[in-house]
Amino acid sequence: MADNVWVIGVHMTKFGQHKDKDALDLGSEAALSALADSGQTIHDMDVMAAGSLFNAAAGIGQQIQKQIGQTGIPVFNVSNACATGATAFRTVYLSIKAGEAEMGLAVGVEQMGKMGLLGAAGSAKGAKTEYEPAGRYGNVMPVEGILGTGTMPGVFAQAGMEYAYKHDGVTVDHFYKIAEKNHAHSSLNPLAQYNKRFTLDEIKNAQMISYPNTMLMCSPNTDGAAAAVLVSESKLRTLPLDVQKRAVRVAASVLTTDPYVDGSHVLPDVNTCTRNAANKAYEMAGIGPQDLDLVELHDCFATAELLHYDNLGLCEPGGAADFLDSGAPWRDGSTPVNVSGGLESKGHPIAATGVAGIYEITTHLRGEAGDRQIDGAKVGLTHVIGLGSTCGVHILEKSAL
C-alpha cells in the first residue's frame, strides 16, 4: 500500500432548494471550487469518483467532466444509498493507496426537489388483491407497516424507541433536545439549508412524521453538492508550502455492511455496521473516541443521533442520554456533534452528505470554520449510514507533514 493520503481541497455548495440549477450545475460547481481550493486543476487529477443516487445510471462523473475538463482519466460512478458520497471519497482514497493514482477528485451531488417520502411505502394503487402466496417471501399481502417497515422515518423511529426501551433514563425528550441542538448549531452555518433556532415546544408540536420524530426532527429533501481533492503524501511533498500547510491527513477510511443479526430481515439493523466501522477506524487511526475534537454523524432523524452516540463509542454503553444531558455534544461541549447543523438542519442531499462531512471536518481542522469554529480542533470523525445497510466512517487529522 502507498503512503498516507491527505485532503488538500474541499468545497460544499449552499444546501437547499436550487430551482435555477440542476445536479450537473451543482456537481460542477463543487468540483471546480474544490480544485481551486487545492491549487490544482482537473489536469492534475489521476482518478475521479462521483456519486448521485438519483442519477445513478446517468454517468454523472462523465457528465461533470464535460463541464470541467475531459482528460481521459478513469471515472468511478458510485451508488451506495446515503453512504454514496463516503463511498466516492473512499474510492479515490483506495486508488491512491493502491499506487494507481497520486491525486484524485471525489464528488457527491443530489437534486431532490420536493420528491417526498423515500423508501418502501406499500403496494402500488391497483395492485392485485388475491390472497395467494407470492414473491420471494411467499407473503399473501403487502407486509409494509405490518411486519416491520422499510420507510426511513419508521425504521429510525422504531430503532430510537427500542433504545429507549432497553436503557433506563432515556425519554422522548432526549430526542427533542437533539433537534433543538442541531437547529441551534445550523444558525451559525451559512451553507445550511435552514438557519433558524427552534424551541423544544416548537419541535414537540410540529407535524408528527413517525413517533417520536416530528417534522423538525427529520432531514429534509435537499439539493446540493460537495467535493474533495485527495493526494498521496509523496506527491504532497512536491506541492507549494501553502498547500502543505492546509492539508489534512486521512487517518482512517472504513466502509462496512450489515452482518446478520436476529430480526434484521424485519427491521433493518442500523447499529451493528456503525459499531464495526467505528471500532475499525479507531484501530486504524491509533486513537479512541476520547481523542475526537468534533464529530459529524448521520442524524437523518433525531432518534438516529442518540443511537450513534453509543454506536460510535462517544459514551459508555447505554449512556447516550447521560452524554446528551451533560452538554457534551453541543458546540461548546467536550465532544461537539454536528456543529454544521447535521442532516436535520444543514440538509441531506443524499449522495453529497458523505463528502459534506469531509468538508465540515476539514474546514474546522484548518481553522477556517468562522463563527462555528471548534477552537484547537485537530482530530475529527465523519459518519454516514445508508439503509441496506452500508456505513462509512472517516477520521481526519491535522498533523505535520
Query: In the annotation, is 348 catalytic?
Result: yes
Q: Residues of the chain whose pLDDT is less than 50?
A: 120-125
Dist. CA 368–CA 99, nearest whole Å: 31
Cis peptide before 212 (omega within 30 of 0): yes
Question: For residue 216, what is its C-alpha cell?
Answer: 423538525
Phi, psi of 380 (to 5 degrees): -140, 155
Residue with the three cell numbers 501553502: 242
Dist. CA 294–CA 339, nearest whole Å: 8
Question: For residue 202, what is its C-alpha cell?
Answer: 416548537
Residue with the three cell numbers 481533492: 229
Catalytic residue among 11, 18, 82, 174: 82
Q: What is the pLDDT of residue 268?
A: 81
What burial class does residue 202 get, using C-beta atoms within 10 Å of its C-beta: 0-12 exposed, 13-18 middle, 19+ buried?
middle
Q: Which domains does the chain have, with CATH numbers?
A: 5-114+220-397 (3.40.47.10)
Phi, psi of 360 (to 5 degrees): -65, -50
| Cβ proximity of 53 and 110 under 8 Å | yes
Measured over all CA atoms, what is the biggest interatomic distance in the chain, rounded to whole angstroms?
A: 71
Dist. CA 370–CA 364, nearest whole Å: 9
Catalytic residue among 11, 183, 308, 348: 348
Question: For residue 62, what is its C-alpha cell?
Answer: 462523465
Q: What is the pLDDT of residue 115?
A: 67
Query: In the annotation, is 315 catalytic?
Result: no
CA separation, residue 70 to residues 4, 48, 61, 230, 311 (Å): 28, 11, 10, 19, 42
pLDDT per position as a tens digit, 176-210: 999 999 999 999 999 999 999 999 999 999 999 99
Dist. CA 295–CA 293, nearest whole Å: 7
pLDDT per position as a tens digit, 204-246: 999 999 999 999 999 999 999 999 999 999 999 999 999 999 9
Dist. CA 63–CA 229, nearest whole Å: 18
pTM attached to this predicted model: 0.94
Residue with the three cell numbers 494507481: 100
Question: For residue 286, what is its C-alpha cell?
Answer: 491509533
Q: Among 277, 314, 291, which residue's Cα sits nearest to residue 399?
A: 291
How much of the chain is in helix, strand and coil states, percent to nearest 5?
35, 20, 45
